[in-house]
Amino acid sequence: MLVLPRSARLAAWGSAAIAGRATPADAVRAVTGDDEPHAVEGHLAPPDDDAASSSSLERLLAALVASGATGMRVALPAPGDAGGLPGPAAFTAEAVDAGEAVLVEGELLLADGVGRLGLVPELTLFGSAHEPGTHVLWRSEPVWSPRAPDGTTLSDAERQLRAGLAEATAVLAGLDVARWRDDAADRITSVRDGALGLRELPPGTPARAARVAASAARVRAIVELATEDDGAAVSSGEALARARSLREVDASARRALAVAVNAAADPGAPGADR
């Protein structure tokens, strides 16, 4: 089964809950998945009927609605590619380090005034390889006004993904990781044949947005497999060229995934299904 980054699930399901297309409880279950219950800390003013120390995702969604949020968007940055992040620098650095962030749409009533809000997940892993677990803390920070979108449509993203999928698959086949890694064959099959889980995107997601999100998740999973080791002996030049190629493929997949998730978050927006 293919899964989306936590920020992607929060943006899509959080927007659906804010718009009334999903219940807050369903959104929390989808975002949390197999994690321990998520915690939230930061600058959002709590709703009148909640304690100031409220930290659950469901209370976060209630506070967002009470504060005037109109939706949520995902950003999936990487070192050297902070596209979609509005600043300030401290928030951008945290988001790049995490590889993901959520930007809340609308001017909100924050604990220290009116402004915009971003959230970055901080993960703490526990348990063993056989029984892993994850604690997630969403840190909310004031952010600047959003940047203008880059104009990429779902059609654009889908075209880029076709080339990226072919290239990533070719690199993986060339590595032939299944020959020397016992776990690789099952993982390759899972990536190749897997679909997005039922709770990855909310009801009402445009069909093309769901398709692009699944393709982008598949490309990123293939890239992850292909970059885990070098496989057969190659020269340092070949290894560097392959790494550079995979970074470019992953960058295209990251951008496509953000476009798809943000279309799922706002299915009524112009171009959300084209």
Res. 120 pLDDT band, cuts 50 70 90: very high
Judgement on whether residues 163 and 245 belong to the same structural domain of the protein:
yes
Among 143, 175, 209, residue at a domain's last position: 143
Judgement on whether residues 124 and 163 belong to the same structural domain of the protein:
no
Which comes out higher in pLDDT, residue 246 or 41? 41
Q: Is residue 1 part of a domain?
A: no
Judgement on whether residues 59 and 30 belong to the same structural domain of the protein:
yes
Residue 242: what pLDDT? Answer: 75
Judgement on whether residues 160 and 188 belong to the same structural domain of the protein:
yes
Judgement on whether residues 134 and 162 belong to the same structural domain of the protein:
no
How far, in Å, CA of 264 to CA of 226, rounded? Answer: 29
> Among the listed ranges 9-18, 62-71, 168-177, which one has the minimum average pLDDT value?
168-177
Residue 214: what pLDDT? Answer: 93
Q: Is residue 32 part of a domain?
A: yes
Judgement on whether residues 132 and 168 belong to the same structural domain of the protein:
no
What percent of the chain stands above pLDDT 70?
82
**What 3-state class would DSSP assign to 133?**
strand
Residue 208: what pLDDT? Answer: 93
Which comes out higher in pLDDT, residue 264 or 111? 264
Among 108, 143, 178, residue at a domain's last position: 143
Q: Is residue 272 part of a domain?
A: no
Angle subtended at Cα 136 by Cα 135 and Cα 137, rounded to the nearest 5 degrees: 125
**What does pLDDT average to over the chain?**
85
> Among the listed ranges 73-82, 99-108, 242-251, which one has the minimum average pLDDT value?
242-251
Q: Is residue 273 part of a domain?
A: no
Q: Is residue 148 part of a domain?
A: no
Q: For residue 122, what are the β-bridge partners?
A: 137
Q: Is residue 271 part of a domain?
A: no
> Among the listed ranges 42-56, 58-72, 74-88, 180-194, which one has the minimum average pLDDT value?
42-56
Total count of domains within the chain: 2
Among 81, 116, 143, residue at a domain's last position: 143
Residue 177: what pLDDT? Answer: 56
Q: Find the mean pLDDT for residues 152-165.
A: 85
Pair of tokens at residue 272: 């959300």
Residue 106: what pLDDT? Answer: 93
Pair of tokens at residue 242: 């392959």
Judgement on whether residues 199 and 260 belong to the same structural domain of the protein:
yes
How far, in Å, CA of 18 to CA of 57, rounded? Answer: 13
What percent of the chain stands above pLDDT 90?
51
Q: Find the mean pLDDT for residues 103-128.
A: 92
Judgement on whether residues 20 and 135 belong to the same structural domain of the protein:
yes
Q: Find the mean pLDDT for residues 11-40.
A: 95
Q: Find the mean pLDDT for residues 57-61.
A: 92
Q: Is residue 93 part of a domain?
A: yes
Judgement on whether residues 132 and 181 belong to the same structural domain of the protein:
no
Judgement on whether residues 10 and 134 belong to the same structural domain of the protein:
yes
pLDDT at residue 255 tops 80 = yes
Res. 162 pLDDT band, cuts 50 70 90: confident
Res. 91 pLDDT band, cuts 50 70 90: very high
Judgement on whether residues 13 and 128 belong to the same structural domain of the protein:
yes
Task: Note down the domain range covering 58.
Answer: 6-143
Judgement on whether residues 103 and 158 belong to the same structural domain of the protein:
no
Q: Is residue 31 part of a domain?
A: yes
Nearest in space to 110 (alpha carbons), one of 193, 157, 59, 43:
43
The 3 state secondary structure assigned to 185-226 is HHHHHHHHHCCECCCCCCCCCCHHHHHHHHHHHHHHHHHHHH
